[in-house]
Amino acid sequence: MTGPSDQDGEWKIRQLPGTLSGLWYDVQEPGSRSLLLNGAGFVTLNWGRGTAYQVKFDAIDKHYTAVYPASGRYDIVIKGEVQLITEFDSLAAPSLQGGITSFKYLLALEVLQLAGSAVCGDIAALGGLLHLATLNLSGSDVTGDIATLPVALQQLALQHTLVHGDLAALQRLPHLKKIDLSGTLAASYSGALLPAWANGIVLKLADLHLLAGDIDQLLHDLAATAIHNGVLDISGVNGRRTSSSNAAHAALLARGWTISCVIGYATFGSADITFGDYNARFEEIAA
């Protein structure tokens, strides 16, 4: 909770060494803004209105809210034991702006959710967050190569951002349970020895402009694993798989996979002439 606390003199003896800055609200209409935070230790939270609030975390998700009576820029500054913060959720606030590099010193961070915000910058700044398990930056302005993502990730959503790279980089993420890269610039797959991801993994890779050969290779590599009951979405603006992936496709369906893809077959490269032709495409879903 916010508010001063001098119980047992904790605030007077506690060192407050770290700072999270570089974020702000671009308030166009007066109203409230909230953050969901969790962690351990002590911090002071300044909402950019000239006053700071003392916070003692107790490992429980809590909402912290400020009311902005006028439009303008309000800088968010958190000082103290920021290295003990485990969760930061902007609650889909489109007015939140700033750089993703602001979070690189939150070394205990496990959950970072900035979906729908205007936060920008290279996702490589998060590569050193060794405990980060959930990352949702969908709809934000971040960029960078997916090969630089933290290896502990279990849930990843970068939908409709400007990140790029080869999908083969997913082999670096052995703990994945759900990933959504739909509508990004990760437009190739060169093949990889994919990890033995948990049964039920969800891979959403729609609208990536993948070619037929990429689709075939991905199906072959997934079939080479022992994963059951997965979900693979390669629909939308992607190429049609060819008959060379028939066996792999059938093997995955036999193991309980649900596969959404562009229906029909294509020769290599033929997908180039159909990109963007949504009327000619529909999903083929097999359980």
Does residue 98 belong to any structural domain of this protein? no
pLDDT at 235 over 80: yes
Which of 119-128, 144-153, 232-241, 258-267 comes out lowest in average pLDDT? 258-267
Does residue 238 belong to any structural domain of this protein? yes
- Residue 46 pLDDT level (bands cut at 50, 70, 90): very high
CA distance 241 to 26: 45
Q: How many domains does the chain have?
A: 1
Please give the pLDDT value at position 274: 31
Tokens of 215: 């689709």
Please give the pLDDT value at position 280: 27
Q: What is the mean pLDDT of residues 146-156?
A: 98
Q: What is the mean pLDDT of residues 161-175?
A: 98
Please give the pLDDT value at position 107: 96
pLDDT at 287 over 60: no
pLDDT at 192 over 60: yes
**Which spans in the chain are helix H?**
10-13, 212-223, 246-254
Please give the pLDDT value at position 263: 76
Does residue 71 belong to any structural domain of this protein? no
CA distance 79 to 12: 15
Please give the pLDDT value at position 275: 29
Which of 93-107, 206-220, 273-287 comes out lowest in average pLDDT? 273-287
Q: Are strands 62-68 and 96-99 parallel, antiparallel or unpaired?
A: unpaired
Does residue 181 belong to any structural domain of this protein? no
Does residue 228 belong to any structural domain of this protein? yes
Share of the chain above pLDDT 90, in %: 83
Please give the pLDDT value at position 53: 87
- Where are the extended beta strands (E) located within the chain? 18-27, 31-39, 42-46, 52-56, 62-68, 72-80, 85-89, 96-99, 111-113, 118-122, 134-136, 141-145, 155-157, 162-166, 178-180, 185-188, 202-204, 231-234, 258-262, 283-286
**What is the span of the domain harbouring residue 218?**
200-287
- Residue 264 pLDDT level (bands cut at 50, 70, 90): low
More confident residue, 266 or 205: 205
- Residue 3 pLDDT level (bands cut at 50, 70, 90): very low
pLDDT at 255 over 60: yes
Q: For the chain, what is the mean pLDDT? A: 88
User: DSSP state, 276?
Assistant: T
HSE toward the beta carbon, residue 273, CA cutoff 13 A:
5
Q: What is the mean pLDDT of residues 51-69?
A: 92
Please give the pLDDT value at position 265: 55
Does residue 1 belong to any structural domain of this protein? no
HSE toward the beta carbon, residue 117, CA cutoff 13 A:
28
Does residue 174 belong to any structural domain of this protein? no
SS3 251: helix
pLDDT at 165 over 80: yes
More confident residue, 10 or 234: 234
SS3 237: coil
Q: What is the mean pLDDT of residues 203-211?
A: 98
Please give the pLDDT value at position 9: 45
Q: pTM (2 decimals)?
A: 0.86
Does residue 191 belong to any structural domain of this protein? no
Please give the pLDDT value at position 36: 98
